[in-house]
Amino acid sequence: MRTNFDFTPYRRSTVGFDRLFNLLESGLHGDVGEGYPPFDIVKDDDDSYRITLAVAGFRPDEIEVVAQQNLLVVSGKHAGDEGKGEYLHRGIATRAFERRFQLADFVEVGGASFENGLLSIALKRVVPEAMKPRRIEIGGAANPDRIEATRERTLQAA
C-alpha cells in the first residue's frame, strides 16, 4: 500500500524548509533493497545518539566513515579473501555497501569504534551559544512609593 502526501501547500507558506520537505518526500518512496548492513540508532540522552552497524566479515581498515554537513556516509568494501580454502557455503555477506544518514542541524560525529563485528558511531547535538535560549531580565519603572520616599528624604536633608 503506497500513500502519497502532497507537501505543496506547506512549501508555499514556509521559507527555508526545502531540505526537510525533500527528506520527507524521499522517505515516503522507501528505500527498496537497502537493508544491508543492518543498523540500530540509539538515543543515549537528550543530546547524544549512537548508530551501530552490524558489519560482520569486514575489518576496520575496509570501512570508511565520512561526516559532511548534515550527512554521515558509512561505506565498506571487502579487500578480498586471504584464505586459500575453498568455500562450500558462504553465509557471511561481504558485499560492498554504502549507508547514508541525514543528520539534523548541529549534530556532530564524535567518533567511531569497532568491536566484535559492530561499528558504533557516536553523535552529539552541539547547539551554539548564540542559538540557545537565554533568559531576559525584565526591567520596569521604579516603584512610585520609593520615588516619593526618596524625594521626602531629599527635602528633609535640605
pLDDT of residue 132: 78
pLDDT of residue 32: 45
Could you tell me the fold of the domain covering 34-81+90-132?
A: Immunoglobulin-like (2.60.40)
Quickly tell me which residue has 569497532 as its cell: 114
Whole-prediction pTM? 0.66
List, run by run, the mean pLDDT of 10-residue segments along the chain (158 residues): 70 78 68 75 94 94 93 90 78 90 90 95 90 85 57 56
pLDDT of residue 1: 43
Residue ranges matching CATH 2.60.40.790 in the chain: 34-81+90-132
Quickly tell me which residue has 549507508 as its cell: 99
Give, as one character, the DSSP assignment of residue 106: T
Q: What's the rounded Cα separation, in Å, for the pair 71 and 105?
A: 10
Cα-based distances in Å from 79 to 14, 50, 56, 63, 73: 48, 27, 14, 10, 19
pLDDT of residue 45: 92
pLDDT of residue 15: 79
